[in-house]
């Protein structure tokens, strides 16, 4: 069973093999977490990602980590919305989280970092995001053996960290 680690940090500073971008289906990296990843990793990541567009909600693709290569090997783009700056739902966040985990498994990734998917521009509260994400993580891990050893849940605010902790404690067989 992988270790669930909740950290207050910028996702681009997280020491994980893969970072998850809560993308849109068009793979345009504008604001929020996507914008932060693009600024840190470089425009090459968006250039790689748009070649796969459109990627449906419930799908995920991996690109290089651009300039972040010293810290990670992949950016996993998992759409939580169809178009840039759309509102999303808890179900779409669940599907995106699950898709990112499945792709990480297929790539034999050992550590992955998630932001609060769908919070911010997606319109969900961090509590709604955390609940949907932890539900998907629980469902994925209940399927059996995984290459993942660490799953980082990262946020910049105390509110996000508290929401992740609360959602993790509420899962069956509590993760924490």
C-alpha 61: how far from its chain's center? 12
Is residue 176 predicted with pLDDT exceeding 60?
Answer: no
How much is the pTM?
A: 0.95
pLDDT at 175: 56
pLDDT in tens, 21-78: 999 999 999 888 999 999 999 999 999 999 999 999 999 999 999 999 777 999 999 9
Query: What's the distance, Cα to Cα, between the start and end of the chain in Å?
Result: 12
- Cα–Cα distance measured from residue 78 to residue 22, given in angstroms and rounded to the nearest whole number: 5
The domain over range 3-170 is classified in CATH as 3.40.220.10? yes
Q: 93, 99, 84, 82: which is closest to 126 by C-alpha? A: 93
For 90-113, b/e burial (b = at least 16 CB within 10 A) is bebbbbbbbbbbbbbbebebebbb
- Cα–Cα distance measured from residue 29 to residue 108, given in angstroms and rounded to the nearest whole number: 25
Q: What sign results for the dihedral spanned by CA atoms 139, 56, 65, 32?
A: negative
Show the CA angle centred on residue 10, arms to residues 8 and 14, nearest 5°.
85
Domain boundaries, the chain: 3-170
pLDDT at 3: 92
């Amino acid at each position: 069973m992988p270790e669930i680690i909740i950290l207050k940090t910028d996702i681009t500073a997280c020491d994980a093999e893969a970072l998850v971008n809560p993308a849109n289906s068009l793979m345009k990296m504008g604001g929020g977490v996507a914008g932060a990843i693009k600024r840190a990793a470089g425009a090459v990541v968006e250039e790689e990602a748009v070649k796969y567009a459109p990627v449906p909600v419930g799908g995920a693709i991996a690109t290089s980590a651009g300039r972040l290569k010293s810290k990670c090997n992949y950016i996993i783009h998992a759409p939580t919305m169809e178009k840039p700056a759309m509102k999303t739902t808890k179900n779409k966040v669940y599907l995106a989280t699950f898709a990112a985990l499945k792709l990480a498994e297929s790539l034999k990734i050992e550590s992955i970092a998630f932001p609060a998917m769908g919070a911010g521009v997606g319109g969900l509260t961090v509590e709604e995001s955390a609940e949907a994400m932890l539900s998907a993580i629980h469902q994925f891990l209940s399927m059996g053996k995984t290459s993942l050893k660490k799953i980082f849940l990262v946020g910049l605010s105390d509110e996000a960290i508290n929401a992740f902790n609360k959602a993790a404690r509420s899962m069956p067989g509590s993760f924490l």
